[in-house]
Chain A
Amino acid sequence: MRDIAVVAFAQSPGTSADRRDDMAEILLPVMREALGSAGIDRTEVDFWASGSHDFHEGRTFAYIESLDAVGAWPPISESHVEMDAAWAAYEAWSWLQLGEGEIAVVYGVGRGSLATDLDQVTTTQLDPYFLAPLRPHQDALAALQAQALVAAGMLDEKQMAEVVVRARAAGMGEPGAQVSGEVTVDELLAAPYLASPLREHDRGPIGDAAAVLVLAAGDTARRLAGRPAWVRGADHRMDTHYPGTRDLTRVDTVTLAAAKAADQAGFAAREVQIAELHTEYSYQEPLLTNALELSGATVNPGGGPLVARPTTATGLIRIGAAAQHILSGRADRTLAHATSGPALQQNMICLLEGDR
């Protein structure tokens, strides 16, 4: 294994709907900030990888617009994943592991607000025979999982409200947050159901934002950052396409990905100080913390996706935030989790560590 680290991270302010900027305009200031903090210009970048989704933009090959913020003409080594940019980060990490270059830039552009109703989009990713014709909205699929956990005695609505109270308080003063503030459990439990047992506040607010991550190998990373955030282990696993064949009270793909990442890293998820979890719904936090055995770790200290969910950039922001804790010296070991698909179908775990 090659030593690969996050050396810089930047993200745009969280907005519920950016009606001023196109993809390149959202991205370019963030790109400048990330490259600037790494102290490099784009001619030094060996590989570019990005994540976004045409179905969120409503146009074919929409991501090529964002390349205007990269300067894409030959010779450029560039790739794109049609999903959360966390998976682009995994691709870039693998590319660097292969020894193809020294510096890779990963970016995610999330435009969750362009589809008038994102539920029209998300049903298109469901299996075409049994689920897509029923048009279940995202919240209904999430609520099935939450209800299964409640019925199994693994979760209650008060616990979910407590997660939201903590997330909204943590989001205060965070530029990336779309919602924040002091709320009480009683206030939240008085709100009407969206899809029982979920209420409006139980889901992260969808919005628009961009994020940029700079990865570098070995001595290059040491040159570009005072304290590189070494990605010691990374793995991702996916569950079956049809949620009806799963036991929704379990997230075995999280457990498995975490075990594989721990094998590479030499330390386990439970040994991290801070965990950045891709919790699109409040019920997912206790489910994930149990699966990862995170008894002592601080979870989503900036509020996480429950205060801002810029669709395909959300997972990448988790990796960036987990790295930022190490780059800034706040923590020595952190974890990032990213998810995709209904009810935590696909999961990625990254374990990061700083030099001591």
Chain B
Amino acid sequence: MSTPPTPSTPPTPSTPPTPSALPSPVESFTSPHKVDYTFVAGTGRSAFLRGLQERRLLARRCPTCERVYLPAPEFCSRCLAELSEPFELAGTGVVKTFCVVNFPFPGQMIDPPYLVAYIQVDGADTTLMHLVRDVEPADVHIGLRVEPVWCAEEDLDTSMNSIRYYRPVAGGSDA
């Protein structure tokens, strides 16, 4: 939509530049950047990650507020107190919330559809995100009791990948 000229509009130049008089602008070029890093997990997270290599879920409790962190940092993020020595949890837990991922995206490791959930491991006050498998998505609901499925011995690592996924507890009832 063009606006009609008003009386106050200044006169247009007698020789306006035509679009063809301007060189075409450079619209793109490639300048890739690559940066390599060392990731320092810290002492708190390292305790949790080392536990995963031994099929153990290691939690830590705040001595002040009793909150149990899994995974645990070094300090309680509320009280700023140093957390207790790591202790092991059985690993079973409850689905606190979940969604089904239906769309593909670059870098995706798993073929959709698949189900990701926040799992509150028994004894912890925080939740872990992981896959829930061996179950029809329609049968997953908040409150479903689940257990971890650990990877093979030779694949154990200081990584969340040591747990392949969670699945409903066999014959278990809802929380």
A interface residues with partner B (beta carbon < 8 Å): 18-25, 28, 42, 55, 57-59, 67-69, 71-73, 111, 113-117, 120-121, 123-124, 128, 132-133
Q: Do B31 and A128 touch (CB < 8 A)? A: yes
CB of B38 closer than 8 Å to a CB of A: yes
A71-B76 Cα distance, complex, nearest whole Å: 8
| Complex A-B: 5 CB contacts under 8 Å | A22-B74, A24-B42, A67-B77, A113-B38, A116-B35
A184-B36 Cα distance, complex, nearest whole Å: 36
Q: Do A25 and B33 touch (CB < 8 A)? A: no
Q: Do A21 and B75 touch (CB < 8 A)? A: no
Q: Do B31 and A132 touch (CB < 8 A)? A: yes
Q: Do A124 and B80 touch (CB < 8 A)? A: no
Known: A20-B40, A22-B42. A68 touches B77 (CB 8 A): yes
A115-B34 Cα distance, complex, nearest whole Å: 11
A22-B44 Cα distance, complex, nearest whole Å: 9
User: Which residues of A sit under 8 angstroms from B34, Cβ to Cβ?
Assistant: 120
- When C-beta atoms are compared, the residue in chain A nearest to B75 turns out to be A28
A120-B36 Cα distance, complex, nearest whole Å: 8
Known: A20-B43, A22-B44, A24-B42. A115 touches B36 (CB 8 A): yes
Q: Could you count the A-B residue pairs with CB atoms below 8 Å apart for me: how many are there?
A: 77
Known: A28-B80, A68-B73, A71-B80. A115 touches B41 (CB 8 A): no
Known: A25-B44, A124-B33. A71 touches B38 (CB 8 A): no
**Closest CB-CB distance, B32 to chain A, in whole Å?**
10
Other contacts beyond A71-B78, A120-B36, A123-B33: 15, CB < 8 A: A18-B40, A20-B40, A21-B42, A22-B40, A22-B74, A25-B42, A25-B43, A25-B75, A28-B75, A57-B37, A68-B73, A113-B38, A115-B36, A115-B37, A132-B31
CB of B105 closer than 8 Å to a CB of A: no
B interface residues with partner A (beta carbon < 8 Å): 29, 31, 33-45, 73-75, 77-80
Known: A71-B80, A73-B78. A114 touches B40 (CB 8 A): yes
A28-B45 Cα distance, complex, nearest whole Å: 16
Q: Do B35 and A120 touch (CB < 8 A)? A: yes
Known: A24-B73, A24-B74, A71-B78. A115 touches B35 (CB 8 A): yes
A71-B77 Cα distance, complex, nearest whole Å: 5
- When C-beta atoms are compared, the residue in chain A nearest to B37 turns out to be A58
User: Which residues of B sit under 8 angstroms from A124, Cβ to Cβ?
Assistant: 33, 35
- When C-beta atoms are compared, the residue in chain A nearest to B79 turns out to be A71
User: Which residues of A sit under 8 angstroms from B73, Cβ to Cβ?
Assistant: 22, 24, 68
**Closest CB-CB distance, A352 to chain B, in whole Å?**
30
Known: A22-B44, A71-B80. A58 touches B31 (CB 8 A): no
Task: Name, among B40, B74, B79, the residue most crowded by chain A CB atoms within 10 Å (CB to CB).
Answer: B40
Contact of B41 among A22, A67, A71 (CB under 8 A): A22
- When C-beta atoms are compared, the residue in chain B nearest to A120 turns out to be B35
Known: A20-B40, A69-B80, A71-B80. A25 touches B74 (CB 8 A): yes
**Closest CB-CB distance, B38 to chain A, in whole Å?**
5
**Closest CB-CB distance, A306 to chain B, in whole Å?**
25
A71-B29 Cα distance, complex, nearest whole Å: 44
User: Which residues of B sit under 8 angstroms from A72, Cβ to Cβ?
Assistant: 77
A123-B33 Cα distance, complex, nearest whole Å: 9
A20-B75 Cα distance, complex, nearest whole Å: 14
Q: Do A21 and B33 touch (CB < 8 A)? A: no
User: Which residues of A sit under 8 angstroms from B38, Cβ to Cβ?
Assistant: 19, 113-114, 116
User: Which residues of A sit under 8 angstroms from B39, Cβ to Cβ?
Assistant: 58-59, 114
User: Which residues of B sit under 8 angstroms from A120, Cβ to Cβ?
Assistant: 33-36
Contact of B37 among A67, A71, A114 (CB under 8 A): A114
User: Which residues of A sit under 8 angstroms from B33, Cβ to Cβ?
Assistant: 120, 123-124, 132
Q: Do B31 and A116 touch (CB < 8 A)? A: no
A59-B37 Cα distance, complex, nearest whole Å: 10
- When C-beta atoms are compared, the residue in chain B nearest to A17 turns out to be B38
**Closest CB-CB distance, B175 to chain A, in whole Å?**
27
Q: Do B36 and A116 touch (CB < 8 A)? A: yes
